[in-house]
Amino acid sequence: MNNRSASNILVALLFVFGLGCRSGQNTTTQTYTINKSAEGSKGMVVSAHPFATQVGLDILKKGGNAVDAAIAVQFALAVCYPVAGNIGGGGFMVYVDKNGNSNTLDFREMAPAKAFADMYLDAKGDPITELSINGPLAGGVPGTVAGMWEAYSKYSKLKDWKALVMPAVLGAKNGVILTSNEAQGLNNNKIKMDSINHGATVYTKQYWKTGDVMKLPELAATLSAIAEQGPKGFYEGKVASQIANAMQKDGGIITLEDLKNYKAVWRNPIITTYRGQKVVTMPPPSSGGMVLVQLLKSVEPYNLKANQWQSATNVHLMVEAERRSYADRATHMGDMDYYPVPMTTLTSDEYIASRMKNFDPNKASKSDNTKAGNIKETEQTTHYNVVDAEGNAVSITTTLNGGYGSKYVIREAGFLLNNEMDDFSVKPGVPNLYGLIGNEANKIEPGKRMLSSMTPAIVLDKNGKPNIIVGTPGGSTIITSVFQTIINIMDFGMAADEAVARPRFHHQWMPDVVMLENDCLTPEVKEKLKEMGHNLVTRGKIGRVEAIIIKDGKYSGGADPRGDDDAKGY
Ligand code: DON
C-alpha cells in the first residue's frame, strides 16, 4: 500500500454543469473530487481535469467503449483545459483492444501549403523565434477534429457522435468553474495573449479567480457545428471560413484548401518487448516511440532492481541511454512521409547494443559541446487514458504545443490555435521551445508533419492484453518521463499512483546536463554523479504522467499530483 492511495483530494470547487438548463436558471451546482488514485473493474479514465474525466466516465457508463469515452474526453478538455486541451491542435492515439490487437492514429498538425523551410528566418538567416512560437503564423493545420472522427468511424461502439461532443458543447455554453491552476494560468498569460490578439479575448476578458465560471459561447457554437456535421463542421463551411478569414486578417497562412486537405492517418504501431512484455507505441512523426524503444532496450540488459531506485548507478545508466537516443532524434527523425527515417535500424537490438558499447558504468560521456539549448518551462500538452469494461485501452497525448499554443484565438470560432510549427527545425542546429535541435529530417515542407516527442504507450501483459497504459505532456521530457514510469512499474513494482508521483530526471543530449526535478536526488547520489562527470541542474516540475494498470481484471488509475489531474473508475 503506498501512501498516496488514500489521498483523494476534495476540491471545494463548485462545478456548474447545467446539463439541460439555461445558464443563470436552475443551474445544477455540484462539488466534485479530484482523485489521485482510483480503482475499478468496469471502466477507468485518467485525465488532466476532473470535468473531462467525469465526461469520459459517463460515456463508459452509458455503454460506450474506450474510444467513445476518449473522444468525449478530448472535446471536454478543449473546454475545461484550454492551456492544452484543444480542437485547434493535434495528437496521437495508441489503441490496444482486449485481445491485444493494436493500432495508432496520427492526428498531428500539418504544415500549411504555403509553408517553406526558411519561413521563420530574417534576411540574414537568423531565426525570428517569436514568429514560430506566438501568433497566427505559428499554427499548423489542426488535426484533432479529423482524428476524433477517424477514431469514431473505426472503433465506436456507441455510434452516437453527437452524444460524444455534447458534454463539451454544454460545458462551453454554460461554463465550467475554473480551478486555481486554470485561473492562474489564464491570468499569467493575459498580457501576452491580449497583445497577440490585439485586445482581450473570451479567455482573458477579466482576471479570473478560483471558482469563476468561464463561458465560451463562440466555442460552444463551433462544437455544436462539429456535433451536428462531424469534421465538415470544422474543416468546411462556416467555421473553416472563420479560420481562413482570421488568418488573412492577422497574417497567418492556413487556407480553406489546407483545412479541406487535412487527413488523420492510421499508422502501424512501433512494437518492442521489455522484460518479456510487449510495448506498443507511436511511430513517426513522433520520435517518442523510437526513442522509448531505444531507452528501454539500452537498459534491459541491466538489473535495475539490484540497485536502489534512483541510485547513481541507475541514473547514470539511464542518462547515458538518453544522451545517445536524443542524439539520434536530432539527426535521423522526422515525418516518414517526407524523409527516409531509418526506423528499422534505429529500433533494432543490434544497433541499440552498438550504441551502448562505449557505455562506461563509472564515467559520463560528453555530448558534443556545440549548441546548448535553452529550455523554457512553458510546457503544456496533455495526456489521458481510458479503459472500458471489456479491457480495450486508449492512450492519447494531445497538444497545442506551448501553453495556450500560439496564444492566438480564432475569435469568431472561440478556440486557440496551436504553435506546433515550432516543433519543426526552423534552422539546422537551432533549438526549439524545448531546447531540441534538428536537421534536414525535420525541416519545414508544405504538408509535412513536425517531429513530436509525444509518447502514448501501452504495455501488454504476458497474455498479450493491455497491462499498463501511460503517457504525459512535457515537451522533450515526455519520452524520458514515460520511460521512467514504465521502469517504476515494471522494474520496481510501484502502483500506478506512486509511479506517476515520484520525482523524475531528464537528459536530452543537448544541452549536456542532467535535469533534476526540484533537485530530486539524494546528496550522496548527486555527489557520485558529479564525480562521474555529469553536469546536474535543478528545474521545476517534469511532466504530468497519467497511468492505468490492469491486473487480474482490476483497474488502478494513477493521476499525477503535479496538477488537477484526476482518476475515476467504477
Ligand atoms: O509534440 C511535441 O513533442 C510537443 N509539441 C509537445 C509539447 C508539450 O508536451 C508541451 N507540454 N507540456
φ and ψ at 499, to 5 degrees?
A: -60, -35
193-218 mean pLDDT = 96
Q: Which residue has the higher pLDDT, 267 or 9?
A: 267
Q: Closest ligand 1 atom, CA of 381?
A: 11
Amino acid residing at 423: D
Q: How far is the CA of 207 from the centre of ligand 1 (A)?
A: 27
Give the model's pLDDT for residue 32.
58
Give the model's pLDDT for residue 403.
96
Q: State how far the Cα of 321 lies from the Cα of 292, in Å rounded to an integer.
A: 10
Q: Taking all residues of the chain, what is their mean pLDDT, rounded to a whole number?
A: 92
In this structure, the strands spanning 536-539 and 514-517 are parallel
Best residue among 107, 181, 381, 400 to mutate for probing ligand 1's pocket (most ligand atoms within 8 Å of CB) is: 381
| pLDDT single digits (tens) 223-241 | 999 999 999 999 999 999 9
Q: Closest ligand 1 atom, CA of 476?
A: 3
Best residue among 109, 433, 453, 477 to mutate for probing ligand 1's pocket (most ligand atoms within 8 Å of CB) is: 453
Q: Closest ligand 1 atom, CA of 402?
A: 10
Q: Where are the alpha helices (DSSP H) in 210-362?
A: 217-229, 232-235, 237-250, 256-261, 288-299, 312-332, 343-346, 349-355
User: Which of 298, 264, 294 has its CA nearest to residue 281?
Assistant: 294
Best residue among 133, 399, 452, 565 to mutate for probing ligand 1's pocket (most ligand atoms within 8 Å of CB) is: 399
Q: Could you tell me how many residues make up the chain?
A: 570
Three cell numbers written together for 411: 475569435
E strand map for 429-534: 457-460, 466-471, 505-506, 514-517
Model confidence at 15: pLDDT above 50:
no
Q: How far is the CA of 372 from the centre of ligand 1 (A)?
A: 19
Give the model's pLDDT for residue 70.
99
φ and ψ at 540, to 5 degrees?
A: -80, -155
| pLDDT single digits (tens) 273-292 | 999 999 999 999 999 999 99
Best residue among 77, 478, 544 to mutate for probing ligand 1's pocket (most ligand atoms within 8 Å of CB) is: 478
Of 255, 381, 397, 472, catalytic: 381
| pLDDT single digits (tens) 484-501 | 999 999 999 999 999 999
Q: How far is the CA of 479 from the centre of ligand 1 (A)?
A: 10
Q: Where are the alpha helices (DSSP H) in 403-545?
A: 478-490, 496-501, 523-532
Task: Give first-to-last CA distance, the chain, whole Å.
Answer: 20
Give the model's pLDDT for residue 113.
98
Question: Taking a C-beta distance cutoff of 8 angstroms, is the pair 548, 525 a contact?
Answer: no
Q: State how far the Cα of 483 lies from the Cα of 455, in Å rounded to an integer.
A: 9
Taking the CA atoms of 357, 358, 359 and 362 in sequence, report the sign of the dihedral they define.
Answer: positive
Q: State how far the Cα of 175 lies from the Cα of 221, in Å rounded to an integer.
A: 13
Amino acid residing at 232: K
Residues 6+ apart with CB under 8 A from 196: 134, 135, 406, 407, 408
Q: State how far the Cα of 513 lies from the Cα of 381, in Å rounded to an integer.
A: 23
Model confidence at 197: pLDDT above 70:
yes
Model confidence at 19: pLDDT above 60:
no
Q: Closest ligand 1 atom, CA of 543?
A: 12
Give the model's pLDDT for residue 379.
53
Is-catalytic flag, 382?
Answer: no
Model confidence at 293: pLDDT above 80:
yes
Q: Closest ligand 1 atom, CA of 420?
A: 5
pLDDT band at 437; cut points 50, 70, 90 = confident
Atom 2 of ligand 1, nearest CA residue:
452
Give the model's pLDDT for residue 439.
86
383-391 mean pLDDT = 98
User: Taking CA 221 as the corner, what is the angle to CA 219 and CA 224, rounded to the nearest 5 degrees?
Assistant: 110
Give the model's pLDDT for residue 39.
98
Global pTM exceeds 0.85:
yes
| pLDDT single digits (tens) 324-370 | 999 999 999 999 999 999 999 999 999 999 999 999 999 999 886 43
Atom 1 of ligand 1, nearest CA residue:
452
Q: Which residue has the higher pLDDT, 68 or 31?
A: 68
Model confidence at 10: pLDDT above 50:
no
Give the model's pLDDT for residue 367.
85
Give residue for cell 478543449. Answer: 78
Model confidence at 258: pLDDT above 90:
yes
Q: How far is the CA of 130 from the centre of ligand 1 (A)?
A: 17
Number of Cβ within 10 Å of residue 79's Cβ equals 30
Q: How far is the CA of 502 from the centre of ligand 1 (A)?
A: 21
Q: Where are the alpha helices (DSSP H) in 156-287?
A: 161-174, 180-196, 217-229, 232-235, 237-250, 256-261
| pLDDT single digits (tens) 403-414 | 999 999 999 999
Q: How far is the CA of 361 from the centre of ligand 1 (A)?
A: 32
Instruction: Give the helix/strand (H/E) hosting 40.
Output: strand 37-40
Three cell numbers written together for 395: 492512450
In this structure, the strands spanning 265-267 and 176-177 are unpaired
Q: State how far the Cα of 371 lies from the Cα of 356, in Å rounded to an integer.
A: 23
φ and ψ at 171, to 5 degrees?
A: -60, -45
| pLDDT single digits (tens) 39-90 | 999 999 999 999 999 999 999 999 999 999 999 999 999 999 999 999 999 9
Model confidence at 462: pLDDT above 80:
yes
Give the model's pLDDT for residue 16.
39
Q: Which residue has the higher pLDDT, 460 or 28?
A: 460
Ligand 1 is surrounded, with C-beta below 6 A, by 379-381, 399, 401, 420, 423, 452-454, 473-475, 478
| pLDDT single digits (tens) 113-154 | 999 999 999 999 999 999 999 999 999 999 999 999 999 999
Give the model's pLDDT for residue 33.
83
Give the model's pLDDT for residue 255.
98
User: Taking CA 94 as the corner, what is the angle to CA 539 and CA 556, rounded to the nearest 5 degrees?
Assistant: 70
Model confidence at 24: pLDDT above 60:
no
Model confidence at 373: pLDDT above 60:
no
Amino acid residing at 200: A
Question: Taking a C-beta distance cutoff of 8 angstroms, is the pair 420, 401 a contact?
Answer: yes
Percent of the chain with pLDDT over 90: 88
